[in-house]
Amino acid sequence: MALAALTEYPDLFAAGINVVGISNWVTFMERTSAWRRAHREQEYGSLEHHRDVLERISPIHKAERIKAPLMVIAGDNDPRVPLSESEQIVERVQAAGGTVKFVHYADEGHKISKLANRIDSFTQMAEFLRFCTTSPPPLD
């Protein structure tokens, strides 16, 4: 939802934090294991019947609209939302000249669950938000 909000309402937010989020619904579905994809298709729609909608709603195709600083947090071993979803939005925002901080944990999955990583991620989120509220970059 953070990516959707930042791309659909770019002037509304001073910052955004995306934790294990989907940036491209098509690549998400393509890279999801077959058994999990069957469940996700019931929830989100199928590539076969809804590809155009999934493409249209994917934040990756509107990444250049992100004006606010973005923090992306992910686990390298996420079985639900592949790390590539985070990597591609980071890459796209950087290519568009946006401000993005990418934090990922080699020993985490779909959520940040290990205590040391939780402390680290929450500390980094707080510092990121503090930076965004005390030194906001100029908006266009």
Give the DSSP letter string of 33-48.
-HHHHHHHHHHH--HH
Predicted confidence (pLDDT) per residue in 32-48, tens digit: 888 888 899 999 999 99
Per domain, the residue ranges of the chain are 2-134
Q: What is the pLDDT along the chain (140 residues), one digit of tens a residue?
A: 999 999 999 999 999 999 999 999 999 999 988 888 889 999 999 999 999 999 999 999 999 999 999 999 999 999 899 999 999 999 999 999 999 999 999 999 999 999 999 999 999 999 999 988 876 554 44
- On whether the 2-134 domain is CATH 1.10.260.40, my answer is no
> CA–CA separation, 138 vs 31, rounded Å?
37
Q: Please state the pTM of the whole predicted model.
A: 0.90
72 sits in which H/E element: strand 70-75
